[in-house]
């Protein structure tokens, strides 16, 4: 068989209504629906050699530890159980495993590269299902813009994938990523959400909030109602953080500076900027705002001594077309 090399890119996505807990850990089926925005500016670029000498995985230039490599190779097996040996090289242009959704773009790019290299003509929905089995939130990064991850009802997860959410043309959002700490987190999302689901008395309240908050947030996006969207995003975030904190032992990713930034963003809103905050599985704070507020908000956040990335809404995952040789 002739070796084939494919390169795919994907952007990470940030949840506006959160996923934190599974109803089926092996298939990565969530216990709640979620809604996210894909970010431009940050990108994962993955090259897959389908038909190499042996299986090898490199993440950001370094050979992956056996656990991480297995997660990658297991996904390739799902595309083709009889596949040839493969080499994977994946690079992020932003910090990995720091609560910046790096696994969402990594597994979306890998799934797209694998679909192309294996020659399987898959619908975007089927691709989203397969990306999900690599990392849950990856199913939302195949699309650009806003996406809704449906829970689905089938036990095999074949209807549990992301779908696009149409945004009002006037909704011109910016996402500010304030980097409080870019080191890898001590507790993985997979373990943190498992512990939360098993031990937190606040977890049921968070799970119940998912469906109505997704519906309200999707409506707000369709109407271009930014203030409504910010309200639903902050509510979902607070419910997730409460569920995390009430776990045994507590799941806590926040740092004092994260709280100072929340204060700053709320103060800016009090003074008239259209903005709100969210956090994920890490101490880094993300602020959502309209385009005209972005620079003023970024400079307020920088006063706290943190680096800020000002990002827009990103496009879908893509296969890079190789340049024709002369």
Q: Which residues of the shown chain bind ligand 2P0 in the complex (CB under 6 A)?
A: 15, 18-20, 28, 34, 103, 135-137, 189-190, 280-281
**Least Å distance between CB 2 and ligand 2P0?**
33
**Least Å distance between CB 139 and ligand 2P0?**
9
**Is the Cβ of residue 268 or residue 288 nearer to ligand 2P0 in the bound state?**
288
**Is the Cβ of residue 244 or residue 289 nearer to ligand 2P0 in the bound state?**
244
Cα–Cα distance for residue pair 125/127, rounded to 1 Å: 5
**Is the Cβ of residue 88 or residue 273 nearer to ligand 2P0 in the bound state?**
88
162-74-283 Cα angle (round to 5) = 60
**Least Å distance between CB 297 and ligand 2P0?**
22
**Angular region, 298: left φ>0, alpha ψ -120 to 50, beta rest:** alpha
Task: Find out whether the peptide bond into 32 is cis, omega within 30 degrees of 0.
Answer: no
**Is the Cβ of residue 13 or residue 293 nearer to ligand 2P0 in the bound state?**
13
**Least Å distance between CB 133 and ligand 2P0?**
9
**Angular region, 90: left φ>0, alpha ψ -120 to 50, beta rest:** beta
Q: Contacts for 224-227 with beta carbons within 8 Å, 24 or more apart?
A: 224/167, 224/168, 224/169, 224/170, 224/171, 225/168, 226/171, 226/173, 226/274, 226/288, 226/290, 227/274
Q: Which two tokens stand for residue 219?
A: 């409506």
**Least Å distance between CB 248 and ligand 2P0?**
19
**Is the Cβ of residue 26 or residue 321 nearer to ligand 2P0 in the bound state?**
26
Question: Which residue number places its CB atom closest to ligand 2P0?
Answer: 136
């Amino acid at each position: 068989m002739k070796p084939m090399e494919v390169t795919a890119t994907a952007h990470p996505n940030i949840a506006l209504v959160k996923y934190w807990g599974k109803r089926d850990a092996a298939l990565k089926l969530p216990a709640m629906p979620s809604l996210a925005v894909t970010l431009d500016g940050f990108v994962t670029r993955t090259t897959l050699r389908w038909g190499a000498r042996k299986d090898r995985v490199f993440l950001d230039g370094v050979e992956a530890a056996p656990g991480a490599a297995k997660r990658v190779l297991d996904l390739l097996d799902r595309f083709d159980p009889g596949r040839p040996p493969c080499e994977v090289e994946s690079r992020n242009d932003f910090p990995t495993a720091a609560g910046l959704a790096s696994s969402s773009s990594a597994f979306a790019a890998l799934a797209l590269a694998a679909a192309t290299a294996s020659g399987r003509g898959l619908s975007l929905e089927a691709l989203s299902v397969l990306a999900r089995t690599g990392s849950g939130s990856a199913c939302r990064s195949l699309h650009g813009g806003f996406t809704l991850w449906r829970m689905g009802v089938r036990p095999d997860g074949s209807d549990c994938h992301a779908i696009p959410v149409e945004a009002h043309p006037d909704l011109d959002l910016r996402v500010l990523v304030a980097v409080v700490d870019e080191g890898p987190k001590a507790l993985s999302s997979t373990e943190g959400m498992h512990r939360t689901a098993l031990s937190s008395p606040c977890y049921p309240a968070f799970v119940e909030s998912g469906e109505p908050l997704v519906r309200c947030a999707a409506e707000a996006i369709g109407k271009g109602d930014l203030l409504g969207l910010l309200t639903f995003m902050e509510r979902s975030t607070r419910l997730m953080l409460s569920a995390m904190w009430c776990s045994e032992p507590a799941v806590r990713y926040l740092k004092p500076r994260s709280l100072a930034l929340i204060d700053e963003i709320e103060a800016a809103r009090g003074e008239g900027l259209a903005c709100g905050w969210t956090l994920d599985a890490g101490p880094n704070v993300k602020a959502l705002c309209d385009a005209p507020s972005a620079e003023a908000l970024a400079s307020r956040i920088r006063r706290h001594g943190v680096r800020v990335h000002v990002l827009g809404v990103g496009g879908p995952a893509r296969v890079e077309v190789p340049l024709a040789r002369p």
